Amino acid sequence: MQLINARLRNVYNAILDDKPLATTPHSYGFAEVGKYLESRNHEEDRSFWQNYLNGAERLQMLAGAHYTSQAKNRQQIEASYTGTVELHGIAKELNIAPSTIFLYSLAVALQLITDQEDVSFGLLLTGRTLPVSGIENIIGPCINTTLCRVLLKEDKTTRESLQEFQAHLDDINERGYLGLVDIANAAGVDAGAIANALAEYRNLPASVPDSDDKDAFHSADVTGDDRVTAPLFISGGPSASGKLRVNITADAKVLPEPDAMWLAKHVSKVASWIAETGAKQKLSSMSIVDTEEFDLIMECAAAPSQTSSNQKNSTRIGSGSIVPVCMEKCSIQFAYIVAVLKAGAAFVPLDPANPWARKLFITKQVDATIVITSGQAVNDPWLEEGFKVLRADKELLPSNTAPTCPGNATPEDLAYIIFTSGSTGTPKGVMIRHSQVSAYIGAKESMSMEPATSRRLHLSSTAFDASIGDIFGALANGGTSYLANVPKMLTDFSQALDDGMANRVFITPAVAQMLTGKQQPSWLCHLMLGGEGYSPVLRDALLPFFSVENVYGPTETVVTATSYHFAKDQKDTYLPLGRTIGTCRIYVVKPGSTEIQPIGAIGEICIGGPQVGAGYLKDEEKTNAKFVSDPFVEGGRMFRTGDLGRLHGDAKFECVGRIDGQVKIRGLRIETGEIEAAIAADQTVDQAKVLKMQLADEVDRLVGFVVLHGD
């Protein structure tokens, strides 16, 4: 098409300027190409593809995308970027083709946003590399789609990798006319899915100048369309000035326009890095984040989101004390928590429903001498281990509402310790200071900032840190924290919300599914979703009825560090984490380092700022590994979340999964190792493994597998 386009341009401009037509080369018939292809040994070609593509998979970003000719049925975006690198010079020095550098650079850029070291995509061949006389002037169906695979190896220099890739491309150019169906059958791969990402390199300079000085032919918009309609199409080649120009056409559901622009930039930056280093360095040493991109990332990192003292004396609870509170949810529980805090002590919420062995372990771990409890929990066997038990009966509260003694808590005192799962089977205590929880409550963008008219449903277990927002987020702003009737919630969630006239609620996506039915609660206006991942399908089902906010933050950074309010016509195909609340900061770094990842690249999410917790109780090693110095803020600290995420080109963050073996079930973060250790404690069990699985009903469950001792 480009050859036809160039000739048509010459004729058009000559007629317009009343000049003689330029002589064009004689066009050879396509029959010679057909004869050559027919003469090839196709069995050898099939054997090559079987070995070359063994184990190749599509790009994960294309899951659900389809190769179709119906481009009009989707929203198509375009992005173009012309960098500073000329490929011909470095290609000549390395004795490889410019297309090899472009395609390798594309694979590296795709690896950044997919986190796949084995990168496969479709490749358009022009047919003009075949050993057929006069092929450079043949006009005919020379274009063919084949497959390309790049295994990115950090133990080799870029030069070695490029030369190895060039050898593969030589084979691909020679054997790529077997056809996708035959290639798929030979290699046992889904060729169509892999080719949903399609690449092409054009050796001829772009017909559109880099500047605005475009000729009459371009203004006439006689360009034709030689594009297949793959969900992601990346084209590279020299611009009119000889610099590498990268063009991307994509389905917006696969790659939003801002991310497409950054992908184009990153392809160019990788190629520039190869040229600047002479391809002598290993891929692991590459850094493509320039000053402009780093400044933008730092701006996004810190950008705010849019949108009973009498008993204290008698029980000797004071500054430095740590007091477990094991109570069913009730207003009296709130009073005792506040009393502990005002005494300068820290509270440790225990869920009465948890196994008593876990409650005993936690109580001993915090060196508690006093436990506050009530109801049936006062009869638990673990309380007989020598603790002073304070029964939280209503009559034990002081009759006067105002405290007789001022509290002596300081900003650096611990406010609470919440125990999460531990990877070794041992619960780990997350320590949060008054200053850290105060920063969260005071952040105007946080889920804790609510109007005095708020009636917020307190649904979360107090052992889950979302309860901090449920309790203090409402009360600190003059609102009402409405206690959930759990049995009623389980049978008729909407009616239970209406019974308490709740207008705001923080719930997990699993619970939110109960609000997608025909009957909606009358009072509920605002939903805060967090604690686990969910799909845009749930978001879209809720938006017609409620204001929906996506919140994110581990226990170690006080409930919520980012917030995103969905628009009613939200089009994102992913779920943005939004921007940081208060003065939190969020980064995406290369796992195992503090090196900032480029925009669009997958890395570990780290959170900095005043909400970063004090560390893990009695675990200096884990604390030092996870709570680290913030290299971007002098004297600052940040928490390595263990979550994988990326910063999109439109300045929105996304979480894409976990680095380690943690899973989330109904919003609760669980280390499968803790459960495995408990199972393995049984003397009949030799080995134990626990997995998060969906069975026939598609509900997330933890499923345990055991190997018993032979005897």
Query: What does the alpha-carbon distance between residue 627 and residue 615 come to, in Å, rounded to a whole number?
Result: 6
Query: What Rg value do the Cα atoms of the chain yield, rounded?
Result: 31
pLDDT digits (tens, 9 = 90+) for 610-643: 999 999 999 999 999 999 999 999 999 999 999 9
Mean pLDDT score across all residues of the chain: 83
CA dihedral 449, 454, 460, 464 (to 10 degrees): 20
Query: What does the alpha-carbon distance between residue 561 and residue 440 come to, in Å, rounded to a whole number?
Result: 8
Query: What does the alpha-carbon distance between residue 392 and residue 462 come to, in Å, rounded to a whole number?
Result: 16
Architecture category of domain 662-708 in CATH: 2-Layer Sandwich (3.30)
| Average pLDDT score over residue span 689-694 | 83
How far does Cα 94 stand from its chain's mean position? 37
Q: Return the higher-pLDDT residue of 687 and 27.
A: 687
DSSP 634-665: TT-EEEEEEEEEEE-TTS-EEEEEESSSEEEE
How far does Cα 233 stand from its chain's mean position? 23
Does pLDDT of 446 surpass 70? no
pLDDT digits (tens, 9 = 90+) for 480-531: 888 877 777 777 888 888 888 889 999 999 889 889 877 788 899 999 999 8
**Residue 393: what pLDDT?**
62
Please state, in angstroms and as integers, the Cα–Cα distance from residue 492 to each residue in 95, 206, 485, 519, 566, following that order.
71, 63, 10, 10, 26
| Average pLDDT score over residue span 251-256 | 88
**Residue 11: what pLDDT?**
73
Determine what percent of the chain is predicted with pLDDT higher than 90.
42
How far does Cα 608 stand from its chain's mean position? 18
Q: Which amino acid makes up residue 176?
A: G
Percentages helix, strand, coil for the chain (3-state, rounded to 5) are 35, 25, 40
Of 259, 260, 256, give the one whose Cα is nearest residue 248. Answer: 260
Query: What does the alpha-carbon distance between residue 178 and residue 131 come to, in Å, rounded to a whole number?
Result: 16
Q: In sequence order, what E strands does 361-467 have?
A: 370-373, 388-391, 414-420, 428-433, 455-458
**Residue 312: what pLDDT?**
44
> Going by C-beta distance under 8 Å and a sequence separation of 6 or more, which residues neighbour residue 206?
237, 238, 239, 240, 245
- Token pair listed for 616: 């893990």
Domain residue spans of the chain: 27-286, 662-708
**Residue 475: what pLDDT?**
79
**Residue 493: what pLDDT?**
86
Does pLDDT of 25 surpass 70? no
How far does Cα 400 stand from its chain's mean position? 51
In this chain, the answer to whether the domains covering 27-286 and 662-708 adopt an identical fold is no
Query: What does the alpha-carbon distance between residue 578 and residue 575 come to, in Å, rounded to a whole number?
Result: 9
| Average pLDDT score over residue span 591-617 | 95
The answer to whether 116 touches 10, Cβ cutoff 8 Å, is no
- Token pair listed for 4: 């036809």
The Cβ of residue 196 has, within 10 Å, a number of other Cβ atoms equal to 25
- Token pair listed for 586: 């969020």
- Token pair listed for 554: 């581990």
Does pLDDT of 467 surpass 60? yes
What is the band of 440 on the pLDDT scale with cuts at 50, 70, 90?
Answer: very high
The answer to whether 656 touches 672, Cβ cutoff 8 Å, is no
Of 2, 274, 261, give the one whose Cα is nearest residue 124. Answer: 2
End-to-end CA distance of the chain: 74
**Residue 402: what pLDDT?**
36
**Residue 179: what pLDDT?**
82
Q: What are phi and psi of 117, to 5 degrees?
A: -85, -15
**Residue 526: what pLDDT?**
93
Please state, in angstroms and as integers, the Cα–Cα distance from residue 240 to each residue in 89, 213, 316, 543, 616, following that order.
16, 11, 81, 48, 59
| Average pLDDT score over residue span 126-152 | 74
**Residue 216: what pLDDT?**
54
Long-range contacts, 246-249 (Cβ 8 Å, 24+) = 246/80, 246/81, 246/82, 246/83, 247/78, 247/79, 247/80, 248/78, 248/79, 248/80, 249/76, 249/77, 249/78
Does pLDDT of 705 surpass 80? yes
Q: Exposure string (b/e) for 465-501, b if CB count within 10 Å is 16 or more?
A: bbbbbbbbbbbebebbbbbbeeeebeeebbebbbebe
| Average pLDDT score over residue span 152-168 | 91
Query: What does the alpha-carbon distance between residue 120 and residue 95 come to, in Å, rounded to a whole number?
Result: 24
Q: Return the higher-pLDDT residue of 110 and 402.
A: 110
| Average pLDDT score over residue span 83-103 | 94
Query: What does the alpha-carbon distance between residue 75 and residue 571 come to, in Å, rounded to a whole number?
Result: 11
The answer to whether 373 touches 390, Cβ cutoff 8 Å, is yes
What is the band of 667 on the pLDDT scale with cuts at 50, 70, 90?
Answer: low
Of 471, 476, 483, 427, give the one whose Cα is nearest residue 451. Answer: 476
Query: What does the alpha-carbon distance between residue 524 and residue 308 come to, in Å, rounded to a whole number?
Result: 34
What is the band of 137 on the pLDDT scale with cuts at 50, 70, 90?
Answer: low
pLDDT digits (tens, 9 = 90+) for 531-576: 888 888 899 999 999 999 999 999 999 999 999 999 998 878 889 9
Query: 284: exposed, middle or buried (C-beta count within 10 Å: 0-12, 13-18, 19+)?
Result: exposed
The answer to whether 194 touches 65, Cβ cutoff 8 Å, is no
Is-above-0.95 flag for pTM? no
Q: Where are the alpha helices (H) located in 215-283, listed in sequence order?
A: 216-219, 257-277
| Average pLDDT score over residue span 150-179 | 89
The answer to whether 602 touches 656, Cβ cutoff 8 Å, is yes
Q: Which amino acid makes up residue 688?
A: A
| Average pLDDT score over residue span 47-64 | 86
**Residue 669: what pLDDT?**
63
- Token pair listed for 405: 């003694």
Domain 27-286 CATH assignment equals 3.30.559.30: yes
pLDDT digits (tens, 9 = 90+) for 395-423: 455 444 333 344 577 899 999 999 987 65
Query: Mapping DSSP to helix (H, G, I), strand (E, B) and coil, where does residue 459 land?
Result: coil
Q: Return the higher-pLDDT residue of 395 and 284.
A: 284
What is the band of 578 on the pLDDT scale with cuts at 50, 70, 90?
Answer: confident
